């Protein structure tokens, strides 16, 4: 009986991953134990002021019995600008080891507003089913469910996937389109490749980077949400992020990195 239960669990896990096969992708960029830290800067009255820190941590885990990567991004303000702008974001996602999205959560305090977004993914009959949950600033809960023929992604899962893109044949202006979801919406989004540039991190080192812009389609036009500068090597480590927030602009510069999977060949002497 015990062997039958083990077999049944293994079979269910196989089918869960198998049904997500259309949304899978190879991971060549990172592994369990990767830890990245950043300094945050906020544009205050045309001056860039250090406003806090951010950290990205990825580990091996499980989600409802499925082997997964658990990735978390935490941003924290340093208190100096709290009277004018409060930044307290915590993002979490689980992706299968085959990079299929499984769960996403974002708790965001920006200014005086606090909202929570959740997305629960499943893959019945080879389709992509999402349950979306939004807690508004006034505490009101919103739930909705949708099933799609094609895959959809949240901001964390698409970023993990994008790190394994192979840009060797890309030309400036290359576009990757995909649908993006959060707690209450689904919108077209895209990543645009803007070429290569050299970026100095807050660890004192310079890196040859790929510049990628992330855009979302809102109210009939494309909006540039953020620009990412990732190492031009197999790791594609984010060295700098330029973020366009509802309350202004922010930048993040890499301070330290641990648990990197591949040799860093983009560092400049």
Q: What integer pLDDT is reported at residue 112 of this predicted model?
A: 73
Q: Is 129 exposed, middle or buried (0-12, 13-18, 19+ CB in 10 A)?
A: middle
> Could you tell me the residue range of the domain that residue 85 belongs to?
2-268
Rounded Cα gap, residues 25 and 119, in angstroms: 19
Q: What integer pLDDT is reported at residue 11 of this predicted model?
A: 35
Helix (H) or strand (E) holding 71: strand 66-77
Show the low-confidence residues of the chain (pLDDT under 70): 1-21, 45, 79-88, 110-111, 246-247
Q: What integer pLDDT is reported at residue 43 of this predicted model?
A: 82
Q: What integer pLDDT is reported at residue 46 of this predicted model?
A: 76
From the list 158, 166, 212, the residue with the least C-alpha distance to 187 is 158
Q: What integer pLDDT is reported at residue 269 of this predicted model?
A: 77
Q: What integer pLDDT is reported at residue 4 of this predicted model?
A: 35
The domain tally of the chain equals 1
Q: How far is CA 7 from CA 10, 13, 61, in A?
A: 5, 10, 21
User: Cβ–Cβ contacts within 10 Å for residue 246, how many?
Assistant: 7
Q: Which two tokens stand for residue 163?
A: 């790190």
Question: Rounded to a whole number, what is the largest CA-CA distance in the chain?
Answer: 69
Q: What integer pLDDT is reported at residue 202 of this predicted model?
A: 98
């Amino acid at each position: 009986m015990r062997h039958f239960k083990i077999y049944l669990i293994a079979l269910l896990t196989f089918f869960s991953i198998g049904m997500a096969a259309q949304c899978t992708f190879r991971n060549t960029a990172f592994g369990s134990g990767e830890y990245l830290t950043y300094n945050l800067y906020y544009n205050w009255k045309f001056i860039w002021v250090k406003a806090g820190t951010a950290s990205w941590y990825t580990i091996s885990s499980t989600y409802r019995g499925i082997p997964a990567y658990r990735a978390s991004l935490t941003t924290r303000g340093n208190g100096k600008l709290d009277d004018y702008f409060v930044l307290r974001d915590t993002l979490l996602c689980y992706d299968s080891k085959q990079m299929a999205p499984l769960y996403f959560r974002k708790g965001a305090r920006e200014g005086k507003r606090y909202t929570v977004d959740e997305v629960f993914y499943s893959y019945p009959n080879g389709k992509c089913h999402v349950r979306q949950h939004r807690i508004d600033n006034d505490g009101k809960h919103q739930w909705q469910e949708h099933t799609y023929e094609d895959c959809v992604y949240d901001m964390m899962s698409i970023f993990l996937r994008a790190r394994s893109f192979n840009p060797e044949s890309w030309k400036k202006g290359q576009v990757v389109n995909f649908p993006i979801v959060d707690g209450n919406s689904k919108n077209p989004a895209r990543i645009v490749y803007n070429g290569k540039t050299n970026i100095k991190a807050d660890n004192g080192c310079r890196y040859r980077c790929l510049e990628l812009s992330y855009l979302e389609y809102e109210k009939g036009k494309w909006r540039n949400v953020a620009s990412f500068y990732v190492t031009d090597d197999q790791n594609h480590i984010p060295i700098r992020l330029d973020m366009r927030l509802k309350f202004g602009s922010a930048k993040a510069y890499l301070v330290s990195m641990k648990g990197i999977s591949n040799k860093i060949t983009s560092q400049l002497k």
